[in-house]
Structure 1
């Protein structure tokens, strides 16, 4: 008898995670059912519990994996630059590339944080803060060295991240600009904003 795509443990585990991302993006976490997920993967509804404890733990696993992978990818990046200017440009390029390549993960991380249980949400938020701190420190160092003017670091950090993350929601591979062109434009926007002090709090 031929095996279905849900009949091999490791393959099924990955298939469940991949299918869950697609269904959550399409229907929303609250509307998605485990019965839908089982049908998408090709297993019996009862069998889904061999791979996940619950719908809530599935969402937590997806979002935790996203943040852990994001943090590790930044830490593993070899060329982060030497000066604050170079480091800021490197961060902009990294953030955009990572996010346009993982649009489902980013959508879920931004739209479904509210659906997490209290403990899982606190864990994901802590990981998000840890990642954001990388940008904060680049800006802080630039202010200390005089490369960047005095600014509200919190406002600047969140303003930059919101702009960069937003790319994955409107970017289309078939669009008129390549990812590299979009990165270059955003590097210019961010650098001009930081250097001019436009990220000051009102």
Structure 2
């Protein structure tokens, strides 16, 4: 066996172990940030949860800020991939499809959602810009749906981007209060919020009274 081959075989298990440790760091940080907030968590606490010395974390993430950025970018990558591969019917009304997808995905990712939205303020400017670019990609999906629907007369939307952010903020807030076993099922939540969104963008069909007024 050549020296290069020996190094390659040695590197394989080492790389796999490193990836496993990095995944455990992400998981520990996710739980800590969601429970206590980013600012209150130390690298020492994360290392303790993982079962490694604090110095070992720096082999994977140079700073706590790098962990936060990684968690947010991972969340956005998973979200965009889930949208691309979601099993909701392609012929479903586009707005309904987006609302149902968003609610279902986010209800299963409460910790990730909390961090992705509540900890934006703790991102350093350069990291914020990177994360915001990925968030804009997701927002563009709904903005396009609203803009096309408005052009076709199905929706009344003065500004698609503003409407998008208002709708996403409303839908993303569900995991903050929803709990399994309550009086509303996930299906109930979907139906109620879908109706709210539809009403928010519905065109005004009230007939004009101009010319019908009594003299």
Name the TM-score, length of structure 1 as normaliser: 0.87
1:22–1:104 Cα contact (<8 Å) kept: yes
1:46 to 28, 42, 55: 55
Cα deviation, 1:84-113, whole Å, max 9, x if unaligned, reads xx1100100110111111111111111111
Q: What do residues 40-92 of structure 1 show as CA deviations (whole Å, max 9, x unaligned)?
A: 11111221222222111111101111111111211222546447xx1100100
**Contact 1:19/1:40, CA 8 A, preserved across alignment:** yes
Structure 1 runs (4+) deviating above 4 angstroms are none
- Cα deviation, 1:98-146, whole Å, max 9, x if unaligned, reads 1111111111111111111211100111111111011010011111112
Deviation of the 1:164 alpha carbon: 0.5
* Count of residues in Structure 1 that have an aligned counterpart in Structure 2: 189
**Is 1:31 paired with 2:31?**
no
User: How far did residue 12 of structure 1 move?
Assistant: 2.1
Contact 2:88 2:101 in 1 (8 A): no
Give the deviation of 1:150 after TM superposition.
Answer: 4.7
Contact 2:146–2:157 at 8 Å: present in 1 too? no
Note the C-alpha offset of 1:32.
Answer: 0.6
Stretches of structure 2 that go unaligned for 5 or more consecutive residues are 1-16, 205-215
Tell me, yes or no, if structure 1 residue 69 matches structure 2 residue 64: no
Which residue of the partner structure matches residue 168 of structure 1?
175
The equivalent position to 2:142 in structure 1, one of 127, 131, 135, is 135
Instruction: Tell me: CA distance 1:175–1:149, structure 2 relative to 1, closer, same or farther (3 Å).
Output: same
Question: Equivalent of 1:19, from 28, 42, 47?
Answer: 28
- The yes-or-no answer on 1:179 pairing with 2:172 is no
Give me the TM-score of the superposition, normalised by structure 2. Answer: 0.82
Asked if structure 2 preserves the Cα contact closer than 8 Å seen for 1:80 and 1:91, the reply is no
Unpaired runs of 5+ residues, structure 1, are 1-7, 198-202
Whole-Å Cα distance in 2 between the matches of residues 63 and 147 of structure 1? 34
CA drift at 1:20: 0.2
Tell me how large the CA RMSD over aligned residues is: 1.8
Residue of 117, 121, 138 corresponding to 2:124 = 117
Query: Do structure 1's residue 152 and structure 2's residue 159 form an aligned pair?
Result: yes
Q: CA separation in 1, counterparts of 2:89 and 2:149?
A: 14
